[in-house]
Amino acid sequence: MKSELHERAIASELSIAAKQVTATVELLDDGATVPFLARYRKEVTGGFDEVVITSIRDRVAQLRELDKRRAAILSSLEEQGKLTDVLQGQIDAALTMTELEDLYLPYRPKRRTKAMIARERGLEPLAQGLWEQDPQMDVMAEAEKHVNVEKGVETVEQALAGARDIMAEWINEDQQARASMRALYMEQGVFKTTGIRGKDVEGSKYRDYAEWEEPVATAPSHRVLAMRRGEQEGFLLFRIIVPEQAALGLLQRLFLKGTGPASAQVTIAIQDCFTRLLSLSMETETRVQTKTKADQTAIDVFAQNVQQLLMASPLGQKAVLAIDPGFRTGCKVVCLDRQGTLKHTDLIYPHQGPGGVAKAGDLIQGLVTKFQIEAIAIGNGTAGRETETFLRTLNLPGSLPVVMVNESGASIYSASAVAREEFPDQDITVRGAVSIGRRLMDPLAELVKIDPKAIGVGQYQHDVDQGILKQRLQDVVISCVNRVGVDVNMASPQLLTAVSGVGPQLATNIVTYRWENGPFKSRTALKQVPRLGAKAFEQAAGFLRITAGEHPLDASAVHPERYAVVKTMAKDLGCTVKELMEDPARQQSIDLNRYITEEVGKPTLTDILSELAKPGRDPRQQFEAVKFDEDVQSIEQVTSGMVLTGVVTNVTAFGAFVDIGVHQDGLVHISQLANRYISDPNTVVQVNQQVKVTVLEVDIPRKRISLSMKAVPTETA
């Protein structure tokens, strides 16, 4: 029953059919992955894409957690003997965790409070009398009745104070009061930060927040996280405040009934409740809520950047010479064959005098010839541009591309267990150079070996909820890998791990089987891999490619469960499957309606027809190398007004960082991204996009470069 309620709620929230939500949830519960459902079960889900399926998965998980908490609360109330039919109905109807906790708050076991002490002293009847706010009530006389030295109530004022403590707790635990105050904090709350004295120099990066106020309702994610980080690092005092009169007025409208002496006592209790209880709990809640919202925005930005980085254009299977540049320690050189296998390593010193230049030049030219090098990759770190300049002085073939490669995270990979296992006899400089070369060949295949948090994109990724971030990035990696597809005979265990239905253990088993038995000749042969059962095969097979295999469709995204459909199409046209795949005219003559069944609908048939036209097509764009200005290689050479070519390295909520080839990325603020208003930088730029930028300002001591992508107005006569 609860499952049906959840699915109806999700259907309403996402404006989709409940039966499709039910079908999707059942498949997810049965172990189906998001990419598999989006690609191969369109008829069941109604054609949901990965975004919708992921939303359903995550919302179901939230609602199930809500049910667990609901059950725990009901159990606690039953044990206390406080569960009534009305209360149970309210708890059963609660749709959010906040609503549940507000209902439970009056009954939650808590530490000894002022209100508890007052109740022990017999002051609850006085509080109840005052709460009624009878204008005729003689407050002092009623309070006098509760003076009891033995119970610790020695004066009338002590009696009234205790009664007010009880009333303050009632106000604090009132569901409507909390909901209204919560809304007030979100609508009229203000973030207020103050710099801590004596830490001005040490905390200079937070100087913009030394005396800062900003509305909670409009503060952007990056500033919320910056303020919180400044607080955590001990440089800022951070508060969330609301106009006190607005807060008190809200509570008075809810609880005041008149203007008599009893109402005066309630008024004091309201003030005390807000100052001592409600403001503190609401500030805490608002901190959590705004942090959650800021986290979500930052995670969205980071996930988009990672996706764009993983889906960067691959050079493809080319023999590559890769260089990890350096000045004093020299440049590590490696040669990779078309499969990315390490064939040779060397060390050159092109930045240590004429002798080093000459020797390095001869070595590079020799390696290019010996290993039939088709491209050169250079890490974009220290000495990267200088090494590029050196290479361009050599008499290399004009068709040989020399490409600067973003090496963020290469050092992380080179020191990792994965790199040590792959290259146990090589040092970290060789491993780093190999990673740079392979990134050029296939960014996705190489970057999956590195924690996404280490690949140089994002915004405050270490400050956000790490559990949510991990899940989101895992989703992104899995989505990208399955969208591109994986050559099962070439893929690393790390790449295979991200394939739908595979995971770490099966990935290892696949590679081991491949090593022991040679390349897979068909998708069917995957069933021989230990522990790769029917369910795993169903989930994975469509995303695993076998080039030049026994079956022509094994190189495509057509799932083996639909091979029979294609075979029937070919038979009806009087040809083989292979001939059908090679003949666009035959493909165009197919009437898909003839092949619709209860299991196979138009969406799947349309996908099959697309695959027949371009089997195993790579969705990534064609590779295009970035050419930086040869005369600008350091920040000291950058001046205002220059127009330079760059590549976007990171997109944030406040703008985009652009590599212009000087070892220090410049910032294009969101206001400088275009000649029109921009609310989301991702609508204008993406990671790895080539752009033209104008230098606005250069701050060499702080290593800051301000850039603009606004078009220069054309003068008219």
Binned at pLDDT 50, 70 and 90, residue 2 comes out as low
- Asked if the 114-305 domain carries CATH number 1.10.3500.10, the reply is yes
pLDDT for 453? 81
Contact predicate 242/185, CB 8 Å = yes
Q: Where are the alpha helices (DSSP H) in 371-407?
A: 384-392
Render pLDDT for 694-711 as a digit per residue (tens, 0 to 9).
999 999 888 899 999 997
Q: Where are the alpha helices (DSSP H) in 326-401?
A: 353-370, 384-392
The answer to whether residue 597 scores a pLDDT higher than 90 is: yes
Binned at pLDDT 50, 70 and 90, residue 275 comes out as very high
CA distance 564 to 571: 10
Over residues 33-47, mean pLDDT: 95
Render pLDDT for 51-103 as a digit per residue (tens, 0 to 9).
999 999 999 999 999 999 999 999 999 999 999 999 999 999 898 999 999 99
The tokens describing 525, both together, are 């042969």
Over residues 1-27, mean pLDDT: 88
CATH number belonging to domain 2-107? 1.10.10.650
The tokens describing 268, both together, are 């004091």
pLDDT for 716? 42
Supply the pTM of this predicted model. Answer: 0.86
Task: Please report, rounded to a whole number, the percentage of residues in the chain having pLDDT higher than 70.
Answer: 98
Contact predicate 578/609, CB 8 Å = no
Task: Kindly report which listed range (29-33, 332-336, 364-368, 648-652) carries the lowest average pLDDT score.
Answer: 648-652
Instruction: Report how many helices (DSSP H) and strands (DSSP E) the chain contains, helices first.
Output: 30, 15
Render pLDDT for 380-411 as a digit per residue (tens, 0 to 9).
888 998 999 899 889 888 789 999 998 888 88
Q: Any idea what the Cα angle at residue 379 is, between residues 374 and 382, rounded to 5°?
A: 145
Rounded to 5 degrees, what are φ and ψ at 690? -80, 135
The answer to whether residue 456 scores a pLDDT higher than 80 is: no
Binned at pLDDT 50, 70 and 90, residue 714 comes out as very low
Binned at pLDDT 50, 70 and 90, residue 713 comes out as low
The answer to whether residue 1 scores a pLDDT higher than 60 is: no
CA distance 161 to 268: 9
Task: Kindly report which listed range (33-42, 134-143, 609-618) carries the lowest average pLDDT score.
Answer: 609-618
Task: Give me the amino acid identity at 557.
Answer: A
Binned at pLDDT 50, 70 and 90, residue 666 comes out as very high
CA distance 707 to 656: 10
DSSP 15-26: T--HHHHHHHHH
The answer to whether residue 248 scores a pLDDT higher than 60 is: yes
- Asked if the 320-441 domain carries CATH number 3.30.300.170, the reply is no
Pick the CATH number of 635-708 from 3.40.605.10, 2.40.50.140, 1.20.200.10, 3.30.465.10: 2.40.50.140
Contact predicate 401/376, CB 8 Å = yes
Q: Where are the domains of the chain?
A: 2-107, 114-305, 320-441, 635-708
CB atoms within 10 A of CB 371: 16
Average pLDDT over the chain reads 92
Render pLDDT for 671-695 as a digit per residue (tens, 0 to 9).
999 999 998 888 899 988 899 999 9
Task: Please report, rounded to a whole number, the percentage of residues in the chain having pLDDT higher than 90.
Answer: 78
The answer to whether residue 516 scores a pLDDT higher than 90 is: yes
Render pLDDT for 629-664 as a digit per residue (tens, 0 to 9).
888 888 999 999 999 999 998 888 889 999 998 888
The tokens describing 168, both together, are 């303050």
Over residues 533-547, mean pLDDT: 96
CA distance 333 to 169: 71
